[in-house]
Every structure is written in structure tokens, then in C-alpha cells.
Chains A and B, each alone.
Chain A
């Protein structure tokens, strides 16, 4: 299980300006779902919707549906604004909590390696604590210090003091090993991820990277984002007109999405994927994989090739629900199945990027 963006150890700065909703506009929700949801809900299921059980009842209709009051809602834009905290996300695996460390954030600056296992926060053990409670322990004022006890990926145990700072994550991060073209995408943001990726690849070229060297894109933490941005990014690596996927609506309307014209990149591409790679990230990786343009290394992905829409309701609250399904170029949807990597790795290996890069090398025979 992975915590969503709202549980990450960062606090978005800007709050929405909508007035708070005290009760959900249930009739509006019923109408929208009945008219536009990908799978039409049974009238009885809509009828029993009420404010008290709304989250659970919505999930029974659509596992990805969610209702946000105006105060709770963060748009993809505001979610990306400055964060305050240790600059890491929590990855929960069974009873264990790991830190996904952001490049340039407080934890990274303090020398916390990515995927370190969290043992204690300020001397308090995190064993048997709910992830939300751990997140609360990690939060604090800017400039305050939090002491983390960690199991490092190399097996050593370490105590690190991290000063909580404000931080803006890069849309596309450069990750070690620095002598290789390895980058990380965590979310697809409309109009932002594609230019950030182009700038990063151009940055590699400026640093005299070989045009034939594999571009390794780490999607282990990419939980999704904007579907069209994912398609746009995929189109950078395929000739104009190549099929990227097919979007299907409930009415049987089918729309093919093809690579547009513009600048293209020709280097070999390898994706590092895992169980948290989901939605738009799966569609991006799946499109290039199905077209024979990229290889996958890691573990089977989450398995959600559907797309959700967020609708502003009359009281300022927001309803998110599934309204599209995406079929990959091979004719299959990844929903429920996930993408199967060309090279599967163990849990332990999936946590170590340097070893994963070696796997990539052995897969492509460059070593």
C-alpha cells in the first residue's frame, strides 16, 4: 500500500479559496455518476448514497471515486507548490515503512539514502504505528530538527538529524549514478512534465552523454497524473502518427491517441517499474513497451489503466470518478493485470537503484 500525495511529509502552502462544504450535494453526485461514470452504477447504489457513509459507498460504486470537501481538495497545481518538511514520502510495505527521498530535499541534504527503512522518529519506534501517525511525527515547523533512526539500504543502521525546510521538488529529477542518464518522474502534470523531461534530456546532451546510451526512467514512485501529459511524453520517443493508446468511454466511444509531430528522441529507453507504478505512469510505460520502444525492469505494476476526472460541484467540493478506460497499443488494458517487466527483480533489489541500473545494463547487454 502506498500513501497518497496527501500523506506525504510535506505541507502544501496554498489553500483553496472555495468555501467549505458542510454537506455533499448528493443529487449532483448521483446525476454525474449516472450520466458519465465508466460503469453505470445501479440505481439502488446511487439511492443509498448519504453523507455519513459517502467515502465507502462511493468506493463500492467505483474503487477510485473520491469526494473532497472544498477545504480538503488540492488541485494538481497546488499539490506541486512549496513543501515544508523532510522532503520524503512514506512507502508502506506490510509493517515496514521506507522513505522515498526527494532529490534536493531536507532528507537528501542530510544524507538519508533513498529507500531507507524508518525505525524511529525522535527516539519513538514507528513499529505498530499507523502511517498517518508516523507522518504526524515527521511534520514540524520550518527549521526544527527531527532525528531519524534508519536501516540504510546497505544494511547499516544510522541516526540522522534532519532540519525541516521548505522545498520545491523538481518535476523530473536527476538521480544517481550521476555518470548515467537516470531520471525519475513521480507524477504527470499537464503542460509541465513534458517540457521538464525535454529540458532534462537536453541537459544530459549538454553534458556530452552519448546519444546511444540508454535513458533510464525510474517510475517506481509514479502513481499517475494527467493522462494526456503521459501520452504527450510517450510521443517524444515514437515517430509521428504511431499509436499510443485508445481511450474508451462508457458509450462505446473510442478515440485513438497518436504521437504528434515535434522533437523526437531516439536513444534506447528502459523503465524501472514496481507495484506503485500506476495509472498514467503505466500507460506511458505500457505504450512504449508495447511499441517495442522500451524495456521494463523491476516488478509488476499496480494495474490501473483507467482515467478519472475531477468535477467541481456547486458548493465548491470536488468529485473524482472513473470515466475512461485506456487500451494499450497491443489491444490490452493493464487494468487488473499490470505491466509485466522484461526483467523481474526481488524486493530487495527493487529498493536499490544502483543495482537496478546494473540489471538494466545486463538486460541491454551494455556491460
Chain B
């Protein structure tokens, strides 16, 4: 008799214990876990884990894509920089040639010495500024977009190069006039 009472009590404890637990197999101890397994909680947990995993994968994909975009941007910036450096180099050669011509004008008889001196001074100034452009561009090596100061420096250098090009064209014209 005592044994039957004990079995009934245990059975009731199992039933109520199972009812009181959550259906997540992680919760509710042994009986709760058993209940969870039986009620589909394990499946839910798996689904939840898969969802979380998918979220992580999506974040990873977004990060990869962002990284890819940054790499593309960085490559584009580097390509632009290479082009700018090439332009500055060719302008430096042109200015060096102009400098040579201005020097030969100074030795030539019958030229307007005052204007030749002015030309030489301006060519020397232009030469200095182009050298600065070259060195400032070198400083931008390896930088991408996003750094405000760097982006601004890039824009300023670009506009200044256009302005130096105009000055070069003007001095070239002046040199031709003086040579005639």
C-alpha cells in the first residue's frame, strides 16, 4: 500500500513538475527538460539558434560587403592619386623646361630684362609650389576616403593644381612673347 502511494505521488510530481516548467529544454531542470523535449521546445530552440546564426551570417555578409566597398574606394583613391602624381610629374618636367628657357632668355641680348627677371622669379615660385604639390600628394599615399582632413586636403590640392596649371600657361605665353 505504501509503495502504491509513493508511486502515485511520484507520478503526480512528474505531471505537475512537467506542467510548471517552460517548454525550453534549457529551463526547468530534468523534468522540465523532459517536458520541453516532449512539447517541441527543443525544436524551437534549434530554430532560434538557426535564426541567430543567420543574423550573424547576414551581419558578416554586410561587413564583408562594406569592406569590399572600402577596398574598391581605396583602390579608386589610389588610382586617382597615381594619376595626380603623374600629372604633377609631367608639370614638373614642363616647368623645368620653362625654367631653362627663361634662363636662356636672361643671357639673350635685347630682351626686356625687367620682364625676364619677373618671369624667372615667377617660374621659380611655380617650381617650388609644384614640388610642394608632389610632396603633399605623396603624403596621401595609402589613405582612403572618410577622413575629413585627408578628403579636404585632396580637394584643395586638386583645385590648387588647376590654378598652378593656369599660372604655367600664363608664364609660357610670357616666355614666348619675350623670345620673339
Residues of A within 8 A of B (CB): 75, 77-78, 80-82, 103-104, 168, 170-172, 174, 178, 190-192, 194-196, 198-200, 202-203, 312
At the interface with chain A, which of B36-44, B87-95, B150-158? Answer: B150-158
- 9 A-B pairs with C-beta separation under 8 A: A77-B132, A81-B135, A168-B139, A170-B149, A171-B160, A172-B156, A174-B149, A192-B160, A203-B155
Query: Across the interface, do A192 and B153 meet the contact criterion of CB distance under 8 Å?
Result: no
Check if B163 is an interface residue, CB within 8 A of chain A. yes
The answer to whether B152 and A195 touch across the interface, beta carbons within 8 angstroms, is no
Closest A residue to B162 by beta carbon equals A195
Chain A residues closer than 8 Å to B167, beta-carbon distance: 191
- The CA-CA distance from A170 to B160 in the complex, in Å, is 12
Query: Which residues of B are at the interface with A, using a C-beta cutoff of 8 A?
Result: 121, 125, 128-129, 132, 135-136, 139, 148-149, 151-153, 155-156, 158-160, 162-164, 167
14 new A-B contacts at CB < 8 Å, known A75-B128, A174-B149, A178-B148: A77-B125, A77-B129, A168-B139, A170-B152, A170-B153, A174-B148, A192-B129, A195-B156, A196-B159, A198-B159, A199-B156, A199-B160, A203-B152, A203-B155
Given contact pairs A168-B139, A170-B156, A192-B160, A75 touches B125 in the complex (Cβ within 8 A): yes
Task: Give bound CA distance, A77 to B132, whole Å.
Answer: 8
A194 touches B163 (CB 8 A): yes
Contact B128 A78 (CB under 8 A): yes
Q: Which residues of A contact B121 (CB under 8 A)?
A: 312
- Quick check: A77 and B128 within 8 Å, CB to CB? yes
CB distance from A235 to the nearest CB of B (A): 14
Contacting residues, chain A, for B153 (C-beta < 8 A): 170
Residues of B within 8 A of A198 (CB): 159
| Bound: A198/B163 CA distance, A | 11
Q: What DSSP secondary structure best describes chain B's contact surface? A: helix
Least Cβ–Cβ distance between B166 and chain A, in angstroms: 8
**Residues on B with beta carbons closer than 8 Å to the beta carbon of A200:** 152, 155-156
The one of B128, B132, B136, B160 in contact with A195, judged by C-beta atoms closer than 8 angstroms, is B160
In the complex, residue of chain B having the shortest beta-carbon distance to the beta carbon of A104: B149
Shortest beta-carbon distance from A13 to chain B in Å = 9
Which residues of the other chain, B, contact A170 by a CB distance below 8 angstroms? 149, 152-153, 156
Q: Give the residues in chain B near A203, CB-CB below 8 Å.
A: 151-152, 155
The closest CB in chain A to the CB of B135 belongs to A82
Return the contact of B164 from the options A191, A196, A199 (Cβ within 8 A).
A191
Q: In the complex, what's the smallest C-beta–C-beta distance from A193 to chain B, in angstroms?
A: 9
Contacts of A196 in B (CB 8 A): 156, 159-160
Which residue from A103, A190, A195 sits with its C-beta under 8 Å from B159? A195
Please state if B163 and A191 are interface contacts (CB–CB under 8 Å).
yes
A80 & B132 in contact (Cβ 8 Å cutoff): yes
B150 CB to closest chain A CB (Å) equals 9
Q: Which residues of A contact B148 (CB under 8 A)?
A: 174, 178
Distance in angstroms from A236 CB to nearest chain B CB is 12
Residues of chain A with a CB closer than 8 A to B162's CB: 195
Which residue among A103, A178, A203, A312 has the maximum number of chain B CB atoms within 10 Å of its CB?
Answer: A203
Interface centre among B152, B162, B167 (most CB of A within 10 A): B152
Q: How far is A142 from B153 in the complex, measured between Cα atoms in Å?
A: 22
- Chain B residues lying within 8 Å of A199, measured Cβ to Cβ, are 152, 155-156, 158-160
Known contacts A174-B148, A198-B159, A203-B152; is A191 also within 8 Å of B129 by CB?
Answer: yes
